Amino acid sequence: MKKYVLRNLDCAGCAAKIEDTLKKLEFVKSVSIDFGSASMWIDTDDIDKVIIECQKIEQDLSITEYVRTGLVRTSQRQQDEFKPRKELWITALCLGVYALALTLYLMDILDGLISWAVFVPLYLVSGWNVLVKAFKNILRGGLFDENFLMSIATIGAFIIGKLPEAAGVMIFFKIGTYLQELSIHRSRKSIKALLEIRPDYANLIRGEETFKVSPEDVEIGNEIVVKPGERIPLDGEIISGESQVDTSALTGESVPKLVKEKDTVLAGMINNVGLLKIRVTKLFAESSISKILELVENATHKKAKTEQFFTTFAKAYTPIVVGISFLTAILPPLFIEDATFSDWIYRALVILVISCPCALVVSIPLTYFGGIGGASRRGILIKGSSYIDAVNKVSKIVFDKTGTLTKGVFKLTEIKSYNQFSRDEILKIAAIIEVNSNHPIALSILQAYNEQHPTNCSCNSCNVKYEIKDYHEIAGQGLTAGVAQGTSSGVAQGEKNKTLNILVGNARLMKANDIVFEPTDQVGTVVYIAVDGVFAGYLIISDELKDDSFQAIKKLKKMGIKYMSMLSGDNSQIAEDISKNLGLDSYYADLLPEDKVTKLESLLSKNKNEKLIYVGDGINDAPVLALADIGISMGSLGSDAAIETADVVIMNDSLTKIPELIQISKKTRSIIWQNIIFSLSIKLLFVVLGIFGVAEMWEAVFADVGVALLAVLNAGRILRHK
């Protein structure tokens, strides 16, 4: 799959038509066109043929492969800049001349051939592009686009002698189209502004000098300088300097973060005050900001069912209205006494003007795009518009415990020893076994040991050397290993090279190995230790609830979430304590990874209108996140695993972002349905008014272009959602 930029794509109907046409081609395996971002994802072996097919539908369409480069990107943006002045001057001139001509016509000064000599040129100048496109579409067999319909309606008006209306309708159509295109352009610009977090350059250090280069040209290990006010271009570690950095582009948080030497900083953060020298640790393509940008930019290609439905609906809607228009012109004069063909043809032409469903085809993708872009600005990454719809149906939320409801920052709070083992001995045994583990509990044990025995410690315990053999990790239970004592002054000659069989884990591990141990009911994660089949003691590791856990659960209950639960591999007592404190509806403890999957399966609703969210850390919860209707991962400020795994990623790990996600989802959905109901109601009303001869072409132009413009402006409100 490759991504392409589509320039001069100003017609949403054309975008839908191009996508539908390409899907039918043998050399196109899959394709998705997003009108909001003017982009196309396509899997094809012959892009040249694809371009030819696209330009048959939209001749002025320019298709170029998307290339994300830093220094080139700015110039590309300038080339794409919308320049409306020329079109505005032509439109204003046509309107001014028309106003004067209409005044003279109503005063009977313009009549006969003179009126034709004035209104026909006005019509051609204002509607030339429409007429040309309509003619080209006829040659290609496209009879139901807005250009063809507008051309037929206005030419018909000329034929029945409605000269001012024919010219006026085309001029007002031109004004409406101009305003609509301007509004679309501004909406796209606003959406793109949300994604302007990508750094354009890096100050690369070479010898004694610095050079401004594209972030893609910087390699791992290179050193860069970031000046105050500049955006950090790549992930890296601070070598020197201290500053406050703005992380809002990544997390949505406005409070600056203090960073200093040896701290990790991420691409996309803004350096506020100090000069920072950074050693690059990731290539730009692998940086968190690059992954975030790719995710957000491509999210709208995963279309919601609503969007897909109205794209299909648009194909049927226009032919149906055209059919109604045809019958309106033909049947009444045949069956109604005194009905004239000229009167009913005019009514039919009025219906033709309002037969294009542009308001829906344009506004729906723009609204979804705005919702996704607005969420990303708040540090919530949504991987597709389909998930916006799904979030609106959520009735259950299930949380992982560690790192989700709790901080995931463990601390050793108690050591209890048995059977002649000292507290220091069992701590060292645990530290030896856990030295190769990256589990948070293991890290807390190592930290506690290192605090008691720093690097230069010379106590007898630290003089003993060990060799680890037969190391095994047992899922959901703990670790087993053989530990051989080496040579040291603190070990008797007979004990040298003696291998100790060590067990470090939970009660399940002790029971599985028939260890007689003393269970404890203290709150916290309990790590039991056995040496050569003898119970040596236990460690209590404590974790804290996140500061915003209570607030998030409270907000979710207010929003009407019916059921909230927690899945944990920890013991029942800890899970029960946390569940009660937070006011959850239930909890499930002592779960192995596969048990979590089974439990979640039982919680999933068979009702398609009731969705379940699972919230986890995205690292060890991948199967459960994938199983849930919507998987939300706590992003850990740049965790690759988190970004890859879930449907929604919360970049700052704050649970209060979940109610915010639901609010954005509801607002997006609300605007979409406002546009659907408003657009269809107005068009239906004017079809009826047109049939009864109440509405004229002026009103029909409003029903077509005016409604589309209002729908686009309404779609833009999602960008201003607070």
**400 included as an active-site residue:** yes
* Distance of alpha carbon 661 from alpha carbon 379, whole angstroms: 10
Distance of CA 677 to the CA centre of its chain: 26
Structure token digits, residue 317: 């809607």
Which residue bears the tokens 């509405």?
695
| DSSP label at residue 660 | H
Contacts of 576 (CB under 8 A, 6+ apart): 587, 589
Q: Report how far apart, in Å, the C-alpha atoms of 250 and of each of 358, 383, 547, 649 are.
A: 35, 15, 20, 11
Helix (H) or strand (E) holding 52: helix 47-57
Annotated catalytic residue within 246, 400, 570, 617: 400
* Distance of alpha carbon 405 from alpha carbon 395, whole angstroms: 19
Q: Strand pairing of 525-531 and 534-542?
A: antiparallel
Q: Residue 411's beta-bridge partner residues?
A: 542
Evaluate whether 63 touches 40 at the Cβ level (below 8 Å): yes
Contacts of 198 (CB under 8 A, 6+ apart): 68, 70, 73, 268, 289, 290, 293
Evaluate whether 286 touches 371 at the Cβ level (below 8 Å): no
Side chain identity at residue 250, one-letter code:
L
* Distance of alpha carbon 675 from alpha carbon 694, whole angstroms: 25
∠ CA 551-553-558 to the nearest 5 degrees?
A: 95
* Distance of alpha carbon 239 from alpha carbon 225, whole angstroms: 10
Which residue bears the tokens 């330009």?
55
Q: Report how far apart, in Å, the C-alpha atoms of 569 and of each of 5, 111, 379, 397 are.
A: 47, 88, 29, 18
Instruction: Please measure the distance between the N-terminal and C-terminal CA atoms of the chain and give it in whole angstroms.
Output: 36
Closest of 440, 648, 614, 638 to residue 544, by C-alpha: 440
* Distance of alpha carbon 176 from alpha carbon 713, whole angstroms: 13
DSSP assignment of 83-97, as one string?
--HHHHHHHHHHHHH
Three-class SS state of 298:
helix
Structure token digits, residue 452: 């008691």
Q: Strand pairing of 563-567 and 586-588?
A: parallel
Which residue bears the tokens 């009514």?
347
Helix (H) or strand (E) holding 251: helix 248-251
Catalytic residues: 400
